[in-house]
Structures are given as C-alpha cells and as structure tokens.
C-alpha cells in the first residue's frame, strides 16, 4: 500500500484529501504544520507528499526546499496544493523542488490522476536507482579483479622465489632483497587501486568487454614487463 503524507494547516483540507485518498486504497499520514510535516517525512518516508503552500509557521515552498535538499527525502515526489494560479507561482514551486502542482479547488479525477502519475514516475526512478547501484557494484568487482590480479600474481611469484632462495645452501641476500622490492611494488599497486575506488564519489562506467563494464579510475603503472630471475 502506497503511503501519502498530507501537510496542510487547515483540518478541513486535510480531511477532504485524506477521505478521497483512503477511498482509493492509499495509506494517509497527516501533518497540520510545516515543521511537523518535515519530521514525519523524514521518519515515515512516504511515497508521495501533498503539500499546501500557504501555511503560517513555514511556507510550503520552504518545506519543499528543505525536503528536496535532505538526503533521505530528496527523492520523494512533492505535489504542491495551492489556490495561487499565476505562472510565476508555478515556476517558483517547481524550482523549489516540487514534482507537480494542483490548484484549488481541484476535483477528484484530477487529484487522483496527478497522484498516480507522480507515484508511477517515482517507482520508475527507484528502479533506475537500483539498477544503477547494481551495475556500479558489479563494475567495482570487475575493476578490482582486473586491477589487482597482476600485483597479486607478482606477490605470488615473489613469495615463491623467496622460498626457493631460502631453501638453498647459500642464500643470496641481494636475490631476496630484489624479490622484496617486487613485493613492495605490488603492495603499492593494490593500495593505489583500493584508495582510488574508495575516493570515487560519482562513478563513471567504461566498457571492459561487450557486456561488462568497469569503474573508470586513473591508470596505475603496471609491472607487467618486469621479470623475476
């Protein structure tokens, strides 16, 4: 059941919207002032907010701006409900972060059409976000595997070379130090990859193969041409 938060300082307006929406099968939360509405939006995370503009304590536009800039509520669609009808008022509301605008007095058909439209687009947006998160996760795994595989191979070869050296009757100190140098190089490469992935704030995907993507990171100097004696 979709959850809708109605914020309006006039009880009769809240009752009318609540009655119509509950009749259509929606769960309705109510708030009679802007600050209470903000708290309920953050705590309840409704699927949609119907917000009156003209309120005494804090205007609907101010509430809209706060919710649109709050990480937990920025993706909740807001429909402003108002008696104002000017183009400038509509523009101001949309710029504040509102999804849509309903002018009073409104009829039931228009209300439900706008509510269902906002909920449908919100659902599509959520699916897109989930898809992007999944693609980013898979790309991160592919990137880590691709970037770290070579230094791990270098670590493995260096470890094996050191073990062989230690099994000899005469151990070459220079030989061991050479392998230790390769280990240090590999550790640095792995650390650089992890630091770069950790520092990414806005992931950019790039092609890896036909159907697989990677996270774009700065190129790291490889040691693929180095050979172990």
pLDDT at 102: 86
pLDDT at 26: 95
72 & 30 share domain: yes
CA atoms within 13 A on the CB side of 185: 20
7 & 101 share domain: yes
Is 116 within a domain? no
Q: Residue 102 carries which DSSP code?
A: E
139 & 102 share domain: no
Task: Please give the residue range of the domain that contains residue 153.
Answer: 130-215
Which residues have C-beta within 8 Å of that of residue 201, sequence separation ≥ 6?
none
Residue found by looking up tokens 């693929």 in the block: 224
CATH number of the domain that residue 51 is part of: 3.40.50.2300
pLDDT at 205: 64
In our burial notation (b when 16+ CB lie closer than 10 A, e otherwise), range 121-158 reads ebeeeeeeeeeeeeebeebbebbbeebbebbeebbebb
pLDDT at 227: 43
Is 52 within a domain? yes
Give me the tens of pLDDT residue by residue for the chain, a chain 229 residues long: 899 999 999 999 999 999 999 999 999 999 999 999 999 999 999 999 999 988 988 999 999 999 999 999 998 999 998 876 555 666 777 788 888 888 887 778 888 998 998 888 878 777 776 677 777 777 777 777 778 888 888 899 999 999 998 999 889 999 899 999 999 999 998 888 888 777 776 666 666 555 566 556 655 444 444 444 4
Report the SS3 class of residue 101. Answer: strand
18 & 63 share domain: yes
Cβ atoms within 10 A of the Cβ of 173, count?
8
Instruction: Please count the structural domains in the chain.
Output: 2
pLDDT at 208: 57
75 & 15 share domain: yes
CA of residue 11 relative to chain centroid, distance: 36
Is 201 within a domain? yes
44 & 8 share domain: yes
pTM of the model: 0.59
Is 114 within a domain? no
141 & 59 share domain: no
92 & 163 share domain: no
- Cα–Cα nearest to 32, from 3, 2, 56: 56
pLDDT at 214: 59
Is 221 within a domain? no
């Amino acid at each position: 059941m979709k959850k809708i938060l109605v914020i309006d300082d006039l009880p009769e307006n809240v009752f009318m919207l609540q009655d119509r929406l509950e009749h259509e099968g929606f769960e309705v939360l109510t708030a009679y002032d802007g600050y209470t509405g903000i708290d309920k939006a953050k705590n309840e995370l409704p699927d949609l907010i119907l917000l009156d503009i003209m309120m005494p304590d804090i205007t609907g536009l101010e509430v809209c701006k706060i919710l649109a800039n709050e990480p937990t509520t920025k993706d909740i669609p807001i429909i402003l409900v108002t008696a104002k009808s000017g183009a400038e008022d509509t523009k101001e509301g949309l710029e504040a972060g509102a999804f849509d605008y309903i002018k009073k007095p409104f009829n039931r058909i228009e209300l439900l059409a706008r509510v269902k439209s906002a909920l449908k687009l919100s659902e599509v947006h959520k699916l897109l976000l989930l898809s992007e998160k999944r693609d980013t996760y898979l790309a991160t795994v592919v990137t880590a595997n691709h970037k770290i595989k070579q230094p791990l191979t270098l670590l493995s070869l260096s470890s094996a070379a050191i073990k062989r050296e230690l099994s000899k009757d005469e151990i070459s100190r220079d030989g061991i130090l050479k392998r230790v140098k390769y280990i240090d190089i590999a550790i640095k490469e792995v650390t650089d990859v992890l630091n770069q992935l950790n520092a990414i704030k806005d992931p950019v995907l790039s092609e890896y193969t036909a159907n697989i993507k990677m996270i774009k990171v700065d190129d790291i100097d490889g040691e693929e041409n180095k050979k172990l004696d």
